[in-house]
Amino acid sequence: MKKVITLLQWGLFLFLLSCQGKPKVIQPVTEMDGAPAGMMEEDPKMKIHEVVVNDFMDASRYTYLNVTEGENTFWIAIPYSEVEKGKTYYYRGGVLMNNFESKEHNRVFETLYLVSGVSKTPSLDGFASASMPAVEDEVPRVGKVNPIAGGTSFSELFSRPSDYNDKSIIVTGQCVKVNRNIMGKNWIHLQDGSKDASDNNLDLTISTMEEVNIGDVVTFEGKIATNRDFGAGYRYDLIMEEAIRK
């Protein structure tokens, strides 16, 4: 039965492909089904692959495709989509994963490519819907945002980060950037109008399951961590994790 492809946004792919330079590696992360469980390397951004679908398996968030490209047969994972066996599809770039675990299928893929989506056509236009930015780039003007009672201002936090390491605090700020669905979380950038010595806005990254839009003034409670390195060039001197919106 013929099926129609439904292309969804996938933040992870775009998040990694935003890096410049040679392929990079990120250290293992344990998450829910389909999340990274091994090292991954970035495929060239503009390389277009032509593959034939041999078989596929659906999961709640992903569709796993066994495909053939030339003489090579391998697995790719895309956001949940409807595909058809025996059909030819195209995709651009990709992230190579080692020992990628699907708990829903009780299976570990020795190698698998994470892909933002597939297209029926090889033209760049065919990837438009698959490449919808997960990162919202428009940064609003941030005025002074005061912390709530019992909260911590960004100027205080950034001036003494080691004092807050591994401690749960409350912060309030305006959302200036969102990276959605990265490693099973949303990555939100907040500012409260505080500046550093060079007159740059102090920007706090928060990882959370909560949904926030750019421009929202929000309050979060979470644990502060310093010197967190997620690999692939993503290192934070200061970050709030396990954050819950108040």
- The per-residue DSSP string of 25-67 comes to EE-----STTS--S-EEEPPTTPEEEEEEEEEEE-SSEEEEEE
Retrieve residue 37's tokens. Answer: 């469980």
Give me the pLDDT at residue 173, please.
93
Give me the pLDDT at residue 26, please.
31
CB under 8 Å to 139, separation ≥6 — which residues? Answer: 176, 177, 214
Q: What is the pTM of this model?
A: 0.47
Give me the pLDDT at residue 31, please.
34
**Long-range contacts of 105-110, Cβ-Cβ distance < 8 Å, separation of 24 or more:** 105/57, 105/59, 105/64, 108/37, 109/64, 109/75
Query: What does each of the 246 residues of the chain score in pLDDT, given as a tens digit?
Result: 444 434 444 444 444 444 433 333 333 333 334 443 444 444 455 678 999 999 998 876 788 999 999 999 999 998 878 889 999 999 887 788 888 878 778 888 888 888 888 888 876 454 433 333 333 444 556 788 999 999 999 999 999 999 999 999 999 999 988 877 777 788 899 999 998 888 888 999 999 999 988 888 999 999 999 998 876 556 789 999 999 999
Strand blocks (E) in 70-203: 72-79, 88-92, 95-102, 107-114, 168-182, 185-191
Give me the pLDDT at residue 14, please.
45
CATH number of 11-127: 2.40.50
Give me the pLDDT at residue 241, please.
95
Domain boundaries, the chain: 11-127, 154-245
CB under 8 Å to 244, separation ≥6 — which residues? Answer: 208, 210, 220, 221, 222
Q: 154-245, superfamily in CATH?
A: Nucleic acid-binding proteins (2.40.50.140)
